Amino acid sequence: MGPEKLINEFVERVRAAAGTNLRSAILYGSAAAGDYVADYSDVNLLCVLGETSFAALQALAPAIAWWTKQKHRAPLLMSAEEMRRSADVFSIEFLDMQRHYRVLWGEDVLQALEIPMHSHRVQVEYELREKTILLRQRLLIVAGNAEAKWELLLRSLPAFGTLFRHALIALGDAGAGTKREAAAALGAKVGIDTNVFGELLDIREGKADRKAAKVDEMFARYLKLVEAVTAAVDKMLDPAA
């Protein structure tokens, strides 16, 4: 069963399970944007509930269990008020949802969601630093396994691509375009060669054969890139700079 059929099946199941407590079911991210890549991309779902009590969540458990058995991550479960109150601390996530989403059922709660930008810069730097540190840790865990290193590299691209685009937004750019375009634009803005990001995207999207590349060489260039971007963005966004 393809992603669309699975998504439709999930919506039917969650509607039956939640009843009137379900206000909205929303698809967001790559599957909504049209650049979903099988084996690498996630199907991202948001279920907006009237209440998120223990009993309400238990009612949804069978539908969520069915969905995760299809090898998809569990949907986000939030109330509309919770979304409104947390838009400041989840500015990156909600801005991305608003960029590419599709209402599968119910209200369009994202369209009118106001996202305050005062903490966006801090979140961008935090996420860049956190993901760079995690990348180093995971590299050491898979150090002797070339296949695992490729997997780590290719699976990390969407997260860093998103952060590159948000770094542009924090630096005053519109942040439009694809992840590939955002990486190139950010590189030009801060004076960093981002070619390795595009090369890895080509491999991830099946446009290039990874057998023609050396994983350690690619990883070294990629790690250097994310460290350089993190340092450059930090410096450029530092109020004291």
| Separation of alpha carbons 105 and 236, rounded Å | 42
pLDDT computed for residue 39 by the predictor: 64
pTM score: 0.80
161 plus 228 within the same structural domain: yes
191 plus 140 within the same structural domain: yes
3-state helix, strand, coil in the chain (%, to 5): 60, 10, 30
Q: Which domain holds residue 10?
A: 3-106
Structure tokens at 101: 């989403």
- Total domain count, the chain: 2
82 plus 160 within the same structural domain: no
pLDDT computed for residue 30 by the predictor: 81
Sequence-distant (≥ 6) Cβ neighbours of residue 17 within 8 angstroms: 59, 60, 62, 63
Helix locations, 100-213, DSSP H = 120-141, 146-170, 179-190, 195-204
**Tens digits of per-residue pLDDT, 29-73?**
888 877 766 666 788 999 999 999 999 999 999 999 999 999 899
Structure tokens at 171: 């630096």
Asked if the structure places residue 114 within a domain, the reply is no
pLDDT computed for residue 1 by the predictor: 46
Q: Which residues of the chain have pLDDT under 70?
A: 1-2, 36-40, 239-241
131 plus 189 within the same structural domain: yes
77 plus 172 within the same structural domain: no
